[in-house]
Structure 1
Amino acid sequence: MLGLRGRRALVSGASRGVGRATALMLARAGADVGVGYATREAEANEVVGLARDLGVRAFAQAADVSTPWGAEMLFERCLVELGGVDVFVANAGIWVPDDVPLAGMADAQWERTITANLTSVFQTVRLAARFVTDGGRIVIVSSTAGQRGEAFHADYAASKGALISFTKSVAVELAERDVTVNCVAPGWIDTEMIERPLAERRGPIEAGIPLGRVASADDVAGPIVFLCSTLARHVTGEVLNVNGGSVLCG
């Protein structure tokens, strides 16, 4: 029903968290998957093994996708291993858990976040715009913070807000090829990246979510896979909120 059997998918940042869940859900839906990762080789290889157990082709490739050569390495490996790219999910990114007021934010933190969250998407989606087949899918992972801001995390909010306008721009550019480009905007997700704040203040965090719970990685992967499917063939340039309603609250 999803129309993903035999589709060739590439996911960045797929060794853990939302990327891992997305790669495995795509595999369960019948897609072959490329697992992009930065340094976690063992975890990436585990994802590959689980995907292959589902009867699809899979590979893992280490690459710094914030650089042109790293992004090219990832896409070239996908072209060699799978013969093409039909679906690309831009998921790689970081979030600094420490609260840092803008007045005290170091240049290094700003530059690191923008490079990891925004430049990496530019480098990879630029290649996806060239290599994703006509009728293909591109999904970019933004954040609720990109819509309403996040005090003491201005670097993160700025990078994720930029991804939303980037999504809309590329969606118009690629529409003539029937390539859809969409964005998901998760809120809090129970992953390793936010392990510390969840341990310290899970109660107040959940109190600010109308559905009363923090999302799992699968809760976010499901909407991503939907946007990659034929069911979403007339959806492009959209931001799909996956935050339990938290974006509705002040």
Structure 2
Amino acid sequence: MDLGLENIHVLVTGASGGIGLETVKLYLSLGANVTAHYNSNSKPIQNLQVKFPALQCAQADLSSESAVKSMFDALSGTPFGPVAVIVVNHGIWSPQDVPIVDMTIEQWDHTVSANLTSSFLVCREFLRHLRAATESVKDRAAIVLIGSTSGKYGEANHGDYAISKSGEFYVCRESVMC
């Protein structure tokens, strides 16, 4: 089945492990040109680059507005051309069980910034770049957010994670309505 992804530029955030790395492999198998984003660990992506010339890396702290803007500006100037599809996959989850009553504001802010604010920044910058894109890019444009059941049902002792994943559903909904 041809999904029309041949030579389409796809950005996958949080691509250095788990779901993100498998998503990169899937898009590559469908003929897309893929940018694999990472924050601190590029090794798994670099291992794939040996096999796939249609793969490039991009490092950015997605909780930084200027870093997200710089990343999209840089990606627009690569041979892959402007990003047409984003898969917003990145996120953090604290391994410590901490009930809301005992959670520090630092943990709360860190999780919400890393998961929710960063998703907003990535979607917003993608949509801003789409304004200047050609019609062929706009016709294929898509935003895919990878969520969690925690966003729908909650997760005991991980309220920071659950609320950040719940908020992503609204970022996605509002992005579509732009």
- What TM-score results when the alignment is normalised by the length of structure 1? 0.65
- Aligned position for 2:3: 2
Q: How does 1:1-250 map to 2 (within 5 A)?
A: 1-52=2-53, 57-81=54-78, 82-132=80-130, 133-135=137-139, 136-173=141-178
Distance in 2, Cα, partners of 1:125 & 1:50: 29
Q: How far off is 1:171 after superposition?
A: 1.0
- What TM-score results when the alignment is normalised by the length of structure 2? 0.90
Distance in 2, Cα, partners of 1:91 & 1:67: 16
Runs of 4 or more consecutive aligned structure 1 residues displaced over 6 Å after TM superposition: none
Gap regions ≥5 residues in structure 1: 174-250
Distance in 2, Cα, partners of 1:70 & 1:13: 15
What SS does the aligned partner of 1:134 have?
helix
Q: How far off is 1:49 after superposition?
A: 2.8
What SS does the aligned partner of 2:35 have?
strand
Aligned length: 169
Distance in 1, Cα, partners of 2:143 & 2:33: 15
What SS does the aligned partner of 2:7 have?
coil
Distance in 2, Cα, partners of 1:65 & 1:124: 7
Distance in 1, Cα, partners of 2:163 & 2:177: 22
Deviations 1:85-126 (A, max 9, x none): 111111111011211111101111101100110011111111
Distance in 2, Cα, partners of 1:51 & 1:76: 23
Distance in 2, Cα, partners of 1:109 & 1:61: 26
Q: How far off is 1:131 after superposition?
A: 2.0
Gap regions ≥5 residues in structure 2: 131-136
Distance in 1, Cα, partners of 2:129 & 2:48: 24
Give yes or no for contact 1:118–1:162 (8 Å, CA) kept in 2.
Answer: yes
Aligned-residue sequence identity (percent) comes to 34
